[in-house]
Every structure is written in C-alpha cells, then in structure tokens.
Amino acid sequence: MNEHLFKILVIGDGEVGKSSFLHRYVNGQFNKTYKMTMGVDYSLKLLYWSDKEKVRLHLWDIAGTKHFSVDRWMAGRHNERCVFPTGQERFISMNRIYYKGALGCVVMFDVTNPTSFRSCRHWKQDLDNKAMLPNGDSIPCILLANKCDLAQRAVTTDSIKRFSEANGFVTWMEISVKENMNVGEAMRRLVQEIMSV
C-alpha cells in the first residue's frame, strides 16, 4: 500500500473555529469549552484513501492567529484572548517556518464576522508569499465559511463565491463545525486536490 504524508495548515483570524474544526475532524467532537492555548497545535489523522493508498494528514493549527495583544504576550499572559483595540492592525503575519513543507491549506472565516472574511485576503497572500510546492506553484487552498448554523449571518454566499474565484482558491464551502456540516467533505476535497497535483 502506498503511504502519503501531507502537511496541512489551518489559518484564519482568531475565534473563527479553526481548533474546533480540527477537533471535530480528528476526534469527531464539538465541545464549546474546548480551548487551545497559544502555540502551534498538531493533530494527526489517518485516511484509507483507496485500497492502494493510505494518507497521513499532519494538521497544523497555526499559532498566533488568536487576537492577542502584544503587550500581554510580552508580559507572559499569552493564554488570554483579547481583541486589538479598534484601528490597530489585526492581522498577524506568520513565520515562514510554519508554512514550510505544507502541501495544502484551509483558510477559514466566520460568516457572522465580516472582518474575519476580509482578513482571508491577507491570509491567502501570506500563504502564497511564503509557501509553494516544489514545482513553484502555490499550494492548494480551500476557503471555508464556518458557523453557518448561526442566524446572524453577515457574509453572503455570492460574495464568498466571487472572493474565492478572484483569489485563487481551489474551492469554497459553507460549513458548520457545530452541526458537523461539510467538515469531512471539505477535507476530502482538499486531499483530493493534493493527490491530483
């Protein structure tokens, strides 16, 4: 049996549901109080892709994507979550080391939070600037619109579609980690894309 190892990143603003997404995908659970500390968190998932192929996914929940204040970080209170004061830069550029060797990426936002949607442009640009496949192409990336179970939706399907097409995403999907809607499907779509590169 052929075995593949794929490093996959999950990036996006803080609180959009990245950790919950991986927890759901890997452990099959949604836990409202499930919280990550600052730092890179890794999980592994083994997929029997076909009777000839086995895929090990090395999933990286990227550090530094929570909104935290640098002052608090410096003071060692880095496990606290807080939002930057209005007007300050919210986007945190990631160190190249996080992107190294990645073969696929999920960029996630929260449909009830338009700012997290706008940030996806930066996340995708940062990814394309710092990560590429050995042949120089940009790595396959999918756009996930999370929290579709919530009524107070603020980003339309049409704008997600247009944004995805204009910014080089392989595809986009509306998901709910809470309702377990499209979580496995999204990852299957990404793995399929990586396999076909």
What single DSSP character describes residue 3? E
Strands (E) in 73-180, as ranges, are 104-110, 141-146, 171-174
| Least separation in angstroms between CB 37 and ligand GDP | 11
Query: In whole angstroms, what is the distance from residue 171 CA to residue 190 CA?
Result: 9
Q: Which is nearer to ligand GDP, 131 or 177 (CB)?
A: 177
Nearer to ligand GDP, 132 or 184 (CB): 184
Under the rule (CB under 6 A), what is the footprint of ligand GDP? 14-20, 32, 36, 66, 146-147, 149-150, 176-178
Output phi, psi for 131, to 5 deg: -130, 135
First vs last Cα of the chain: how many Å apart?
20
In the bound state with ligand GDP, the residue whose beta carbon lies nearer, of 107 and 177, is: 177
The phi and psi torsions of 26 (rounded to 5 degrees) equal -85, -40
Instruction: Write down the least CB distance from residue 148 to ligand GDP, Å.
Output: 7
Smallest separation (angstroms) from ligand GDP to the CB of 188: 18
In the complex with ligand GDP, the residue whose CB is nearer, 20 or 164, is: 20
